[in-house]
Structures are given as C-alpha cells and as structure tokens.
Amino acid sequence: MLDLIVAEPPLFFTGVTILGLLIGSFLNVVILRLPARLEYDWRCQCKELLQIEDAGEKGEAPKPPPDLIWSRSQCPDCGHYIKAHENIPLLSYLFLKGRCASCKAPISMRYPCIEASTALLFLVVAIHFGPGLQALAAIGLTAFLIALTCIDIDHQLLPDDLTLLLLWSGLFASLFYVFSDPVSSLIGALAGYLSLWLVYHLFRLLTGKEGMGYGDFKLLAALGAWTGWQMLPLIILLSSLLGAVTGLIMIALKRHKSSQPMPFGPFIALAGWIALLWGDGIIDAYLRSTGLG
C-alpha cells in the first residue's frame, strides 16, 4: 500500500496533505500545552529548591496542566470534552461553524489556520523533494519549525525540549548525508550558536540590553546542523531582512511599538526553511549576478 502511494504522485501528494492536517492538529496541542507544562515544571522545581509549600484555594496542590498526548482536549470556556468527530482537522471547524458544540463559544481561527498551513508546507516540501528520505526529514523539520514559531510568538520562548531535539536530529541526519555531511553539520551547529552568541554579548556590552535570547542561538545551531555551515550566512541575512521589514511594517501600522521586543525565532525558522528548500538556488543566483559564480 505504501509503495503504491509513493509510486503514484497524486496519491503521494494527497497522503502528504492529509498527514499535514493531522500533524497540524497535534501541533496545536503542542503549541498550547508545552509552554504551560514547562512553566508548571519550573515552578515546581523552584518551590522544591526554596522549600515552599504550595496549596490551592481548598488546601490542595494545584493540578498540573494537561500533558501533550494522553489528556483529552476540552473547551476552555465550558470544559466540554471534545469528541473524536469534533476534532477532525479543518472539517470539524467548518461543520461546527467555528463554535463549541456545547456552549457555542467561538473557536479561535488559529487552529484551522495552523492545520491548513502545516498541510500546505508539507505539500510544498513533498513537491520540492519528491518521495524519499529528504522529503521525510524535511517534513519533520517543518513541523518543529511551525511549533517553535508559534510558541515564540506567544511567549517569546524557544523551548529546549524542541530546539535541542532538532539540533541532535540534524546531526543524526548528517550521518546519512540527507542534507549535509557530518563535518559541515557539526561546524554549522557550532558556528550557528557562536555567531548569535557573539552578537548577543556585543550588543549587551554596547547597549546594556539583551537583544535576543539563548533559544535563538540554539535554533540557529539546529538549522546549521541540518543545512551545514554553508547556509548560515544566507539564513542570518535572510532572517535579519525579514525581521527588519516586518518590524518596520508593524510599526508603521501601529501594531508594534519600537521599544517593544519582537521575537526573532520566527524569522530564523522561516529563513532556515527557505534555505533548506531553495538555498542552493538563491546562492547560485547571487553569485551569477555579482560575477563571482
């Protein structure tokens, strides 16, 4: 069955799109629950170190947030547990007309948007690489980048649980020469981390402020491991350009204050994804246009 899907392009692309919808639905869970789980764990560790006893209103310890896999999804307004037929990617949102089946509270458009975006990006990856190990690896990387982007937008946080796993998986993929060789991957990881680390400390030395977080270093290191050190200049330049243009547009539209920090992770993630798919072509076009190629 799997061989048939891979051999027939329409079936392959349809399968990838459906997979994207399913993974997108799970990413919604990760984006919502992982930061809450991490905050709960950090609070518990701090209270344990400081020997602080914590109790709820009724003298009971607060319950931990839902886990990523086993806890059932429920409406945040009325607590209605979402049934299987109410949790079909995209379709359930349309059938329910964007409202909870129980209390009719509006469901955020963000959920179907992430599902649709994941399916679309998976399809782009499948079309670009075709059936094979590269497509499978790129799909996994894309899923991680979507989750990291949304979490950073919400909380200005790039969790180690995701960035470090992405880093190690990139180094592991290099052993099979999926996108890069082991030496280029290792140098990419080191150079990716140290480049932003140096920029961070130089900026803090000159201004006394922190321009970015350590999660940005780890994300660039992970992308360096996946794409090799050769793509790092493109990723850094492209992410800086995307960040600057987006910031100027948002300030002009009065959607963002110039003094308000803006997460840089989404721009690194987008630039890394673009570099993975079209980096070689972009670099070749630049070298030809400057007469260096």
List, as one string, the DSSP characters of 263-293: -SHHHHHHHHHHHHHHHHHHHHHHHHHHT--
Helix axes 133-155, 110-129, angle to 10 degrees: 150
Over the stretch 168-188, which tens digit does the pLDDT of each residue have?
A: 999 999 999 999 999 999 999
> Using CA atoms, how far apart are residues 154 and 267, in angstroms rounded to an integer?
14
Contact of 25 with 89, CB cutoff 8 Å: yes
Over the stretch 130-176, which tens digit does the pLDDT of each residue have?
A: 999 999 999 999 999 999 999 999 999 999 999 999 999 999 999 99
Closest residue by Cα to residue 227 from 192, 179, 158, 182:
179
Residue 237 DSSP SS3: helix
Per-residue model confidence (pLDDT) at position 250? 85
Residue 222 has, within 13 A of its CA and on its CB side, a CA count of 29
Contact of 246 with 267, CB cutoff 8 Å: yes
Question: At CA 32, angle to CA 27 and CA 36, rounded to 5?
Answer: 130
> Using CA atoms, how far apart are residues 33 and 141, in angstroms rounded to an integer?
20
Q: Is 101 exposed, middle or buried (0-12, 13-18, 19+ CB in 10 A)?
A: middle
Closest residue by Cα to residue 151 from 202, 204, 216:
216
- Higher pLDDT: 113 or 258? It is 113
Per-residue model confidence (pLDDT) at position 66? 87
Over the stretch 67-108, which tens digit does the pLDDT of each residue have?
A: 888 888 888 888 888 888 888 999 999 999 899 888 989 999
Per-residue model confidence (pLDDT) at position 63? 78
Q: Which residue has tokens 């200049």?
A: 233
Q: Is the pLDDT of residue 6 over 80?
A: no
Over the stretch 10-67, which tens digit does the pLDDT of each residue have?
A: 888 999 999 999 999 999 999 999 999 999 888 888 888 887 766 554 555 677 888 8
The residue-averaged pLDDT of 249-261 equals: 74
Q: Is the pLDDT of residue 123 over 70?
A: yes
- Higher pLDDT: 102 or 129? It is 129
> Using CA atoms, how far apart are residues 85 and 2, in angstroms rounded to an integer?
26
Tokens of 231: 């793509």
Per-residue model confidence (pLDDT) at position 173? 97
Band of the pLDDT at 2, cuts 50, 70, 90? low
0.75 exceeded by pTM: yes
Per-residue model confidence (pLDDT) at position 108? 92
Band of the pLDDT at 269, cuts 50, 70, 90? very high
> Using CA atoms, how far apart are residues 150 and 272, in angstroms rounded to an integer?
15
DSSP H stretches of helix in the chain: 2-7, 9-50, 91-95, 110-129, 133-155, 160-174, 182-207, 214-227, 232-252, 265-290
